Structure 1
Amino acid sequence: MDIHAIDHIELYVGDARQSAFYFGTAVGFHLCGQGGPETGLDGQRSLLLTQGDIRMVLTTGLSAAHPATEYVRRHGDGIAVVALEVDDAAGAYAELVARGATGLSAPRTWTGADAEVVTAEVGGFGDVVHRLVERRGDRAVFLPGAVEPTPPARTGSGAGQQLLCDIDHLAVCVPPGQLADTVALYARVFGFREIFTEHIEVAGQAMNSTVVQSRSERVTLVLLEPDTSRRPGQIDAFLSEHHGAGVQHLGLRTDDIVTAVGALGERGVRFAGTPATYYDDLERRVGAIAAPLDRLRELGILVDHDHGGQLLQIFTESMHVRRTLFLELIERRGARTFGSGNIKALYEAKERELAAASPAQGVGV
């Protein structure tokens, strides 16, 4: 069994149209398809958004019994499905279950005039599901007979502009004591390799981090666990507000982060702030940067490096009421790691955001 890439992600949300408006207008995604009870998706309304090679489905449950309804009630809006591209969905499902995965949905075939798609589902971390996807025929057809293409009108502003290319990684928070078991699950069941591990301490907080990756190197999970021997921090806050393990942030790759951040900022995306002093010794720390330092400072873009080169990254503020899921934009210039040298700056920025979201007094009437 080979896992090739992330086929798509699916967010369960309270209002799919409202979420699509944000991702379209602010982040530049385009509405490409929709489905619901009339197309065979019982009890739900789903919208398909795309940008570059990223496919994102936004699903709202239309009944109390639908899994999306319960997910949103417990966790709030968030990534509920990480779909994996495979050659043989039925074979992969049988193999994963034999290795110890929890089987959730047996293989099902969706057939259209130009394409056939086979899907099956197994459990992943927390309440997140892995959907196995096998595509035959026209690979541009998402789910024949269930998600119908929409007219080619653009959802996002700046029609035709592709700012984001693909999914770089997903950062996953797990409760304390569960990191080793989660790493072992992905090694034993999914065949992922552990490629990086570290213990990070900053400002009296600490966490353990392990990165696991598919053998194709195109599916990467950054697994994070709080160190309970130190004071509670943002990983603890995520686990509390999300009520368990889940995707803390979605890393999206861009080929030009300066242009992307400038454009998204003009559309209303709010980015986590970075202390001005961060840039005072930046080039001493990471070497010469092929981007204007003043522009990086203005936009708040972080820079790190490893043996392979540099990476530029920035994190959005969460767009959700629970302050859970947020986005990362990342441009890789040879670097293969994830900006460990920027963790302190991220922590400081997120601490300020969380403090601002928790006013000291209530609102009077």
Structure 2
Amino acid sequence: MTTYTDKGPKPDVGRFLCFDYLTFWVGNAKQAASYYSSRMGFEPYAYKGLETGSRDVCYHAVKQNKIIFVFASALNPGNAEMGQHLVTHGDGVKDIAFSVEDLDGIMKMAKQRGAKIVKDIWEEKDEFGKVRFAVVQTYGDTTHTFVERGNYKGLFLPGFKKPLFPQDKLLEKLPKPNLQFVDHIVGNQPDLQMENAASWYEKHLMFHRFWSIDDSQVHTKYSALRSIVMTNYEETIKMPINEPATGLRKSQIQEYVDYYGGAGVQHIALNTQDIIASIRVLRERGMEFLRVPDTYYTALREKKS
């Protein structure tokens, strides 16, 4: 593992604060939100749809401590953008939103450095105040939304209301996994595209390299990987960028790229203060985990002896 100490110059304008929320494009937003609530301990948080004036897309937001996931689905047939995304990728993360300060400064810098602007600065408002946004393109079909909340006092974002229905009584009876916040979000890249993706964060957002590993450090007889962790100047946002390395078999990173149809968000790491207790609760709630064969522990003991 290589640890980097050079953060590079501190940006003259703008500041990235933290992960704000993640948006998943899915076939059935209500059903997806229900799954994350029943299995992973999230709670229905906010809603935007026909009943609130959104005629084309419905959004179901769920929350657990500082983690917010938003599930979005098209309401009408013929939504080419969302439809093609689902055909290519299936359900998955479309957007990673960052809370920022000085959105104007961040966007000015991003434009000067050649970032692809999906949607320039706009604002939305309601009786609780206003929020400003902008969207840029990162790896694959994934985007980043920059969110400047200012003094907004509403539930979540303008246009979102409290869930239409009371919380499922069943959820109140289930144990809590106590997941705290998004620790990091991994983006898998096709072979030899990791450096390009990492350089994108350096060039356009002025992120720096936090640490990295290569296939000489992480490998088995059958597969290997390379990874660079990118982070903002304050190191409050961690974005590992992974790519496969050659092995006797196809690595899980290459499998992801093949099945997802290109680069994308491969996993979201959620912080917990007690991982054993959290996993126990998640199992009780019906969450499925990979089975570890007994031979794994036999091999581990032999390796340590």
Q: TM class by shorter-chain length?
A: 0.7 to 0.9
Residues 28 and 157 in structure 1, CA contact (< 8 A), matched pair in contact too: no
Equivalence for 2:9: none
Task: Please give the per-residue CA displacement for 1:120-147, whole angstroms capped at 9, x wherever unaligned.
Answer: 1011111001001000224553211x21
Summarize the Cα distance change of 1:109–1:130 in structure 2 as closer, same or farther, 3 Å threshold. Answer: same
Summarize the Cα distance change of 1:246–1:28 in structure 2 as closer, same or farther, 3 Å threshold. Answer: same
Amino acid corresponding to residue 58 of structure 1 in structure 2: F
Distance in 1, matches of 2:135 and 2:97, equals 9
Say whether 1:181 aligns with 2:181. no
Say whether 1:46 aligns with 2:59. yes
Residues 125 and 246 in structure 1, CA contact (< 8 A), matched pair in contact too: yes
Say whether 1:10 aligns with 2:23. yes
Amino acid corresponding to residue 258 of structure 1 in structure 2: I
Equivalence for 2:5: none
Residues 177 and 277 in structure 2, CA contact (< 8 A), matched pair in contact too: no
SS in 2 for 1:148: coil
Distance in 2, matches of 1:170 and 1:115, equals 30
Task: Tell me by how many angstroms 1:71 deviates.
Answer: 1.4
Out of 179, 186, 208, which is 1:171 matched to?
Answer: 186
Task: Tell me by how many angstroms 1:207 deviates.
Answer: 1.6
Task: Tell me by how many angstroms 1:180 deviates.
Answer: 0.8
Task: Tell me by how many angstroms 1:87 deviates.
Answer: 1.2
Equivalent residue runs for 1:48-127 within 5 Å: 48-62=61-75, 63-65=77-79, 67-127=81-141
SS in 2 for 1:202: coil
Equivalence for 1:22: 35
Could you list the structure 1 runs, at least 4 aligned residues long, displaced by more than 6 angstroms after superposition: none
Distance in 2, matches of 1:159 and 1:109, equals 39
Task: Tell me by how many angstroms 1:162 deviates.
Answer: 5.8
Residues 2 and 87 in structure 1, CA contact (< 8 A), matched pair in contact too: yes
For structure 1, which segment, 30-39 or 19-28, has the greater mean C-alpha deviation from structure 2 after superposition?
Answer: 30-39
Give the number of the structure with larger relative contact order, counting CA–CA contacts within 8 Å between residues 6 or more apart.
Answer: 2
Please provide the CA RMSD for this pair.
2.2
Amino acid corresponding to residue 56 of structure 2 in structure 1: G
Equivalence for 1:35: 48
Amino acid corresponding to residue 103 of structure 1 in structure 2: I
Q: What TM-score comes out, normalization by structure 2 length?
A: 0.85
Identical positions, percent: 27
Task: Please give the per-residue CA displacement for 1:63-112, whole angstroms capped at 9, x wherever unaligned.
Answer: 43353322111100011100011113333223212212110112121112
SS in 2 for 1:26: helix
Distance in 1, matches of 2:146 and 2:135, equals 6
Say whether 1:130 aligns with 2:144. yes
Residues 131 and 152 in structure 2, CA contact (< 8 A), matched pair in contact too: no
Q: What TM-score comes out, normalization by structure 1 length?
A: 0.72
Amino acid corresponding to residue 122 of structure 1 in structure 2: V
Residues 24 and 157 in structure 1, CA contact (< 8 A), matched pair in contact too: no
SS in 1 for 2:79: coil
SS in 2 for 1:170: strand
Task: Tell me by how many angstroms 1:233 deviates.
Answer: 1.9
Summarize the Cα distance change of 1:186–1:139 in structure 2 as closer, same or farther, 3 Å threshold. Answer: farther
Distance in 1, matches of 2:200 and 2:297, equals 40
- Is there any run of 5+ residues in structure 2 with no aligned partner, and where? 1-13
User: How many residues end up aligned between the 2 structures?
Assistant: 283
Distance in 2, matches of 1:98 and 1:58, equals 32
Task: Please give the per-residue CA displacement for 1:11-67, whole angstroms capped at 9, x wherever unaligned.
Answer: 000111111111011101111111124535441111010001001100012243353
For structure 1, which segment, 41-50 or 228-237, has the greater mean C-alpha deviation from structure 2 after superposition?
Answer: 228-237
For structure 1, which segment, 14-23 or 131-140, has the greater mean C-alpha deviation from structure 2 after superposition?
Answer: 131-140
